[in-house]
């Protein structure tokens, strides 16, 4: 015999039919273990075509109204209701948030019922009943509070990664000095970077917010250690040696401080000018990068951190006079220290002579420095064709797989391909910024904002460098350059933004 019966909290939603339990007489293990079944179902209900539940007759087939069940009409405890509702939500991280929210709704409705003249017990029973079917409500909430994937960004980064691999296979085929296995090695590095991005995407970015101070202190100590004990190349002590894996530019990894700084901004919100002062102190990290003799990286990092602090002040996180705070930030704590660093650099007492001369040339002062790389980059750019190779071999630019990668692409494949790569990178950065500013969670917003600013700034600098519009410098193109440090930073940044998007419907806004 088969029948359909009103649900009880033990058996609810077994067949997913909105609180009805479809059972067969032969499979009674579920109902035998149900304490409500033992109390409610009478023996007379097993022998004929009619089933009695708590004294009410129901036909064995069909879908009787739940109002016909006296158990439903009399009482269902709030805890039992919430347990049933939360069982329908698959994401464990969302259950606590939803449970608190639904409990508050029930208590608010109970308070309204009490104000209408009901006794406390009756008010609670009515409040629970007004919430509706716990299975239907839970299934609806499950569609909202679940992990999400930004497939657009994943597709963009995946396409960029494929083009990156193809470009470097071409570079390896043309430049024998890179070694026969260069293309394969870089392909493995790019795939490893993509895998790291997926791993970061699966992690909860709130852990960065939770341990922001400890992580920031680690960055300061690591930068100081590398500046004194790191491997020195071309006058800059900004590398660490990994043996057979080669050297990694630690100064590039310094960009990972950006999302950590975003978490620090979030932690100090609401503390007024004191909080702004603390954030300015934490913004001194680029000075540690200066100790590695990486002036360009320190300047870029400073401007990104200052922009993030400006966003936080502009959104009134600190409850201060926003115009006064922003003016002080960009003058007293911005322009003046930067001017001091420039004066120190061109004085000749701190940097190596060639670096001092390079900065003087960039500022338009008399200098013995001849920027050969900048001049040649402009020449290769002007001789490139819209599509196809220019017929000219690049023999006098060092770093075509890193610093001058866009010049390589324009020279051998055409300006259109170079512009395509640039547009794809700008599309990734634009997607990052769009995802960030659409977040309700301020922590995810400010961390993603910093990642987007980084991708935008570094891409713009790489394009200007390719056109010969800025002095030659050591830099990297996000997702494309052969430098392992730059490659890792770009993929980690993308993974953090994907994590922000993944948890946007799970984490309570303001939660750390």
pLDDT number for residue 423: 93
Give the 3-state secondary structure percentages of the chain, helix then strand then coil, rounded to 5: 65, 5, 30
User: Is the CB of residue 395 less than 8 Å from the CB of residue 157?
Assistant: no
Q: What is the DSSP string of 359-404?
A: HHHHTT-------HHHHHHHHHHHH--SSS--S----S-S-TTTTT
What φ, ψ does residue 496 adopt, rounded to 5°? -65, -45
Angle CA 236–254–192, to nearest 5: 105
Residue 3, H or E segment: strand 2-6
CA distance 409 to 417: 7
User: Is the CB of residue 86 less than 8 Å from the CB of residue 140?
Assistant: no
CA distance 418 to 170: 14
Angle CA 403–480–190, to nearest 5: 130
Report helix angle 295-314 to 322-330, nearest 10. Answer: 170
pLDDT number for residue 87: 78
User: Is the CB of residue 462 less than 8 Å from the CB of residue 406?
Assistant: yes
| Three-class secondary structure of residue 329 per DSSP | helix
User: Is the CB of residue 295 less than 8 Å from the CB of residue 355?
Assistant: yes
User: Is the CB of residue 212 less than 8 Å from the CB of residue 264?
Assistant: yes
Ranges of beta strands (E only) in 39-175 are 51-53, 56-58
User: Is the CB of residue 362 less than 8 Å from the CB of residue 456?
Assistant: no
184 Cα distance to chain centroid: 29
Q: Which of 205, 212, 261, 213 is nearest to 507 (CA)?
A: 205
Q: Which of 106, 94, 199 is nearest to 140 (CA)?
A: 94
Residues 6 or more apart whose CB falls under 8 angstroms from that of 283 comprise 261, 302, 305, 306, 309, 333
Residues 6 or more apart whose CB falls under 8 angstroms from that of 225 comprise none
Per-position b or e across 27-52, b if 16+ CB within 10 A of its CB:
eeeebeebeebeebbeeebeeeeebb
CA atoms within 13 A on the CB side of 212: 20
CA distance 300 to 388: 34
CA atoms within 13 A on the CB side of 269: 22
Q: Which of 213, 337, 345 is nearest to 284 (CA)?
A: 337
**Tens of each residue's pLDDT in the chain, 512 residues:** 333 333 443 343 333 333 333 333 333 333 334 433 333 333 333 333 443 433 434 344 333 334 444 334 334 578 888 888 777 776 676 777 777 878 888 888 888 888 888 888 888 888 888 888 787 777 777 776 677 889 999 999 999 999 999 999 988 888 777 777 888 888 999 999 999 999 999 898 988 988 999 999 999 988 888 777 766 666 566 666 665 555 667 778 889 999 999 999 999 998 999 999 999 999 988 877 776 667 788 888 989 999 999 999 999 999 999 988 888 888 877 666 667 666 666 665 656 666 677 767 666 666 666 777 888 888 888 889 998 888 888 877 777 777 888 988 998 899 999 999 999 999 999 999 999 998 888 999 999 999 999 999 999 998 888 888 887 777 788 999 888 888 999 999 999 999 999 888 775 555 55
Q: Which residues pair with 67 in a beta bridge?
A: none
CA distance 170 to 193: 20
CA distance 58 to 52: 6
Q: Which of 83, 80, 71, 100 is nearest to 5 (CA)?
A: 71
User: Is the CB of residue 345 less than 8 Å from the CB of residue 358?
Assistant: no
**pTM (predicted TM-score):** 0.73
How many CB atoms are closer than 10 A to CB 408? 24
């Amino acid at each position: 015999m088969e029948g359909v019966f009103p649900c009880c909290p033990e058996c609810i939603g077994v067949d997913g039919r909105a609180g009805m339990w479809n059972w067969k007489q032969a499979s009674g293990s579920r109902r035998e273990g149900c304490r409500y079944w033992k109390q409610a179902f009478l023996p007379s209900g097993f022998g004929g075509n009619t089933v009695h539940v708590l004294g009410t007759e129901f036909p064995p087939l069909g879908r009787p109204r739940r109002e016909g069940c006296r158990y439903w009409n009399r009482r269902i405890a709030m805890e039992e209701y919430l347990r049933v509702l939360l069982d329908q939500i698959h994401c464990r991280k969302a259950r606590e948030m939803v449970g608190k929210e639904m409990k508050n709704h029930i208590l608010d409705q109970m308070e309204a019922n009490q104000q209408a003249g009901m006794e406390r017990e009756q008010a609670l029973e009515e409040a629970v009943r007004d919430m509706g079917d716990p299975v239907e409500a839970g299934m609806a909430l499950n569609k909202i509070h679940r992990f999400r994937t930004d497939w657009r960004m994943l597709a963009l980064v995946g396409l960029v990664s494929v083009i990156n691999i193809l470009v470097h296979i071409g570079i390896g085929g043309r430049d024998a000095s890179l070694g026969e296995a260069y293309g394969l090695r870089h392909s493995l590095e790019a795939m490893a970077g993509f895998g790291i991005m997926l791993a970061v995407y699966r992690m909860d970015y709130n852990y960065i917010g939770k341990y922001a101070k400890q992580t920031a202190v680690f960055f300061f100590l690591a930068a100081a250690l590398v500046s004194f004990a790191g491997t020195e190349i071309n006058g800059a002590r900004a590398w660490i040696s990994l043996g057979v894996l080669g050297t990694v530019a630690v100064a590039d990894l310094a960009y990972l401080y950006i999302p950590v700084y975003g978490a620090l901004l979030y932690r100090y919100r609401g503390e007024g000018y004191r909080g702004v002062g603390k954030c300015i102190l934490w913004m001194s990290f680029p000075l540690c990068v200066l100790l590695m003799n990486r002036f360009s990286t320190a300047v870029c990092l400073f401007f990104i951190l200052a922009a993030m602090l400006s966003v936080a002040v502009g959104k009134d996180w600190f409850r201060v006079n926003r115009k006064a705070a922003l003016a002080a930030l960009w003058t007293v704590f911005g322009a003046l220290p930067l001017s001091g660093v420039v004066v120190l650099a061109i004085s000749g007492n701190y940097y190596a002579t060639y670096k001092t001369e390079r900065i003087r040339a960039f500022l338009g002062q008399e200098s013995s420095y001849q920027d050969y790389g900048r001049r040649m980059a402009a020449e290769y750019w002007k001789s490139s064709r819209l599509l196809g190779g220019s017929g000219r071999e690049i023999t006098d630019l060092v770093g075509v797989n890193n610093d001058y990668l866009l010049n390589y692409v324009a020279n051998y494949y055409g300006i259109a391909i170079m512009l395509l790569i640039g547009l794809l990178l700008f599309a990734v950065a634009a997607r990052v910024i769009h995802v960030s500013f659409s977040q309700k969670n301020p922590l995810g917003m400010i961390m993603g904002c910093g990642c987007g600013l980084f991708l935008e700034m570094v891409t713009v600098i790489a394009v200007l460098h390719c056109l010969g519009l800025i002095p030659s410098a050591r830099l990297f193109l996000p997702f494309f350059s052969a430098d392992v440090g730059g490659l890792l930073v770009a993929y980690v940044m993308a993974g953090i933004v994907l994590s922000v998007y993944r948890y946007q419907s799970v984490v309570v806004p303001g939660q750390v």
